[in-house]
Chain A
Amino acid sequence: MSRSRFDIRAQPGFGFITLFTFFALYLPIAALVVYSFNGAESLSQWGGFSSRWFVAAWQNSAVQDAAIRSLVIALWAAGLATVAALMAALATTRTAPYRGQTLKYALINQPLMVPEIVTAVALLIVFSRIKVWTGYSGLGYLVLAHTAFCIPFAYLPIRARLESMDLTLERAAADLYATRWKTFRHVTLPLLRPAVIAGFMLAFVISLDDVVITEFVKSGGQDTLPTYMLGQLRRETTPEINAIATVFLALSTVLVVIFFFINRKKQ
């Protein structure tokens, strides 16, 4: 391929900026991974290669509990958010454009626009009242809160796919004796599957990663992995949290890769 004079790659400084950006993005992560194999007690002082902190983290029951709690919340929240987002996307794309449509999109995507800390405080107030009234203080509050802020992440890819979908396909299904439910089941949903999977995946990762809202909403003993790590930072810090973060990184990378291949195979 011949490079024209106007090719962006031929501009002065292109190489430097690219390198700098990549370093800024990946150097800290690389450092984290390297230091998770640090044999010393210190976070940043190198004391020889060792996997002792992985073993320590693995045997730490608080870490185990937090990890399982994180996964349970993320699965529930991503699942519920995807269902809600799918219904919202169907409802918002199956109408002729009208005044106030943008407002409705904004309302659905509220969690993307309101600062998270505001929502966190608001949920703290509301949930603490509900806790008093009902006496219930289980994981439900966290699942509910996570579902709410996961909805836009599931909604956006599904809506994008629906907007580019040929509506005559649904009309053709109806013409060929499919009821509305059968049309959804045999035509709409199969065509949406990649977007639904992508939406679920995004929601899952967003839930897994959340700190602010979780910190405000959780009751005692309901630490998720991120809030547990945050809590550890306030006490004596060991490379254990490096190890946990590295496992976290590996886990989400594997998830993303799996979903990517599932999606590619379907198409």
Chain B
Amino acid sequence: MTDTRTTAAHGGAIGLHGIKKWFGTFQAVDDVTLDIRPNEFFTLLGPSGCGKTTLLRMIAGFELPTEGQILLDGADISSLLPNQRPVNTVFQNYALFPHLSVAENIAFGLKMLGRPKAEIGTVVNDMLRLVHLEGRGDNPVTQLSGGQQQRVALARALAPRPKVLLLDEPLSALDLKLRKSMQMELKRLQLETGITFVFVTHDQEEALTMSDRIAVMSAGTVRQVGSPWDIYDRPAERFVADFIGETNFLEADVVSVSGSAARVRLSSGAEISASFPADAVPTGSVTIVVRPEHARAGAPTGMSVLRGAVHDIVYLGTDTHLHMHLDDGTTFTVRQQNARSGHCGFSKGDTVGIDFSDGVAQILRD
């Protein structure tokens, strides 16, 4: 393991500058500019058809951008063939070579690069150890389980020590338990190898768990880039807030702005402080978001920020969701952790007061 770490190539930086991609009359990617830093775990997150996989394929070289430049450590690689780019891919269906053994699959890239046999043998053994497949080198890949095939695909892509590893929804074919453990595994591999990972997924939880930074995409454009915390707690716009997790949207009026926080008045008349995206100083009427777990429900008092009636109670094991109709008719959900066993303390039709701490509310750009 140690030699893998000491000889690991340093992760490369990817620069995407003004990337556009047309397939006939369909625009898959619309003017994307992104900087992916060396050694980071970067995730492209979005619904299917948002252009995230097309973007990944352009970095790999399987598609050429219609417009724009792709830089690797500052050098333009836009027009290089896939085999000329020091970038490897883990495919969604793994794409293991069925006529080759586990070891031959892992050795493929190094063999194509013309590395000496002895070096290939050493690296293959290192890789087998890295992905916990010691002693499986001679097995045919067709006899492995889904999780094991996944590990071979990873080892095969890591063996030539690429500057960047591209992962195209690699966990989507695995069952939930295996997916969870592979998430940890991927994160470990990324830290151990120091290779830049670019990960494509439509699974927001996967993105939040593993990433250093996330780019949320929609309809061929990047909507927001930031740390998992930024994306979840400080969504800049409705699409991002809606796509990541569950959320409550409330209409509000801006009362004052000072520094990075604003005072807003809710329909209930209560005034709260809220943060806003750095590039959009809010004025007039705005939409704010509050995550269900950031709100608390209790007996209504004069101090309650909002008031509503319980409309539905959904028990989820770890949490209970209280769905409410506010006095002004909008719906609002509170997620309450089931810290103790037993009933949540509310019944359908109860009138409740809702509170949340200052600063948990976020003003959207649009």
Q: Which residues of A contact B (CB under 8 A)?
A: 166, 168-169, 171-179, 182, 186-187, 190-191
B89 located at the interface, meaning its Cβ lies under 8 Å from any Cβ of chain A in the complex: yes
Contacts of B157 in A (CB 8 A): 175-176
**Contact present for A176 and B98 (CB under 8 Å):** no
Question: A171 CA to B82 CA in the complex, in Å?
Answer: 8
Within 8 A of A (CB), among B84-127: 87-89, 91, 93, 95-99, 108-109, 112-113
B160 in the interface (beta carbon within 8 A): yes
Interface centre among B62, B87, B93, B108 (most CB of A within 10 A): B108
Query: Which residues on the B side are within 8 Å of A182 (C-beta)?
Result: 112
Q: A168-B91, A182-B112 are in contact. Are A174 and B83 (CB under 8 A)?
A: yes
Find out whether the CB atom of A177 lies under 8 angstroms from the CB atom of B113: yes
Name the CB-closest residue of A to B166: A175
Q: What's the Cα separation between A166 and B317 when bound, in Å?
A: 42
B114's nearest neighbour on chain A, judged by CB, is A177
Q: What residues of B have a CB within 8 angstroms of the CB of A173 in the complex?
A: 97, 108, 112
Interface centre among B87, B95, B157 (most CB of A within 10 A): B95
Known: A171-B82, A187-B97, A190-B99. A176 touches B108 (CB 8 A): yes
Whether A178 contacts B91 in the complex (CB less than 8 A), given A172-B97, A187-B97, A191-B98, comes out as no
Contact B95 A166 (CB under 8 A): yes
| B residues less than 8 Å from A191 (CB atoms) | 98-99
Task: Decide yes or no whether B156 CB sits under 8 A from chain A.
Answer: yes
B222 within 8 A of A: no
Q: Quick check: B89 and A175 within 8 Å, CB to CB?
A: yes
The distance from the CB of A266 to the nearest CB of chain B, in whole angstroms, is 9
Q: Return chain A residues, CB-CB under 8 Å to B91.
A: 168, 171-172
CA distance A168 to B81 in the complex (A): 15
B170-195 contacts to A (CB < 8 Å): none
Does chain A have a CB within 8 A of B231? no
Return the contact of B83 from the options A169, A178, A190 (Cβ within 8 A): A178
Could you give 25 example pairs across A and B, Cβ below 8 Å? A166-B93, A168-B93, A169-B95, A169-B97, A169-B98, A172-B91, A173-B97, A173-B108, A173-B112, A174-B61, A174-B81, A174-B82, A175-B60, A175-B61, A175-B62, A175-B82, A175-B157, A176-B109, A176-B112, A176-B157, A179-B83, A179-B112, A182-B112, A187-B97, A191-B98
- Chain A proximity of B103: nearest CB distance (Å): 14
CA distance A176 to B165 in the complex (A): 12
**Could you tell me the distance between the alpha carbons of A179 and B83 in the complex, rounded to whole angstroms?**
6
What chain B residues lie within 8 Å of A166 (beta carbons)?
A: 93, 95
Let me know if B160 and A177 touch, CB within 8 A.
Answer: yes
Please measure, in the bound complex, the distance between the C-alpha atom of A178 and the C-alpha atom of B61, giving whole angstroms.
13
Q: Which residues of A contact B88 (CB under 8 A)?
A: 175-176
Across-interface contacts of B160 in A (CB, < 8 A): 176-177
Contact A177 B95 (CB under 8 A): no
Once the chains are docked, how many angstroms separate the CA of A175 from the CA of B62? 8
Nearest-neighbor residue (CB-CB) of A171 within chain B: B62
Q: A190-B99, A191-B98, A191-B99 are contacts. A177–B93 as well, Cβ < 8 Å? A: no
Apart from A174-B82, A176-B156, A178-B83, what are 19 other A-B pairs with CB-CB below 8 Å? Answer: A171-B91, A172-B89, A172-B91, A173-B97, A173-B108, A174-B81, A174-B83, A175-B62, A175-B82, A175-B87, A175-B89, A176-B108, A176-B109, A177-B113, A177-B160, A178-B108, A179-B112, A182-B112, A191-B99
- On chain B, the residues within 8 Å of A174 by CB distance are 61-62, 81-83
Task: Provide the residues of chain B in CB contact with A175, threshold 8 Å.
Answer: 60-62, 82-83, 87-89, 157
Considering the complex, give the chain B residue whose CB is closest to the CB of A166. B95
Tell me the minimal C-beta distance from A191 to chain B in angstroms: 6
> Complex formed: what's the CA distance from A92 to B95 in Å?
22
- Chain A residues near B109 (CB, 8 Å)? 176-177
B62 proximity list for chain A (CB < 8 A): 171, 174-175
The closest CB in chain B to the CB of A176 belongs to B109
Task: Please report the C-alpha to C-alpha distance between residue A173 and residue B96 in the assembled complex, in whole angstroms.
Answer: 10
Nearest-neighbour CB distance to chain A for B127, whole angstroms, equals 13
- A16 CB to closest chain B CB (Å) equals 44
B113, closest chain A residue (CB): A177
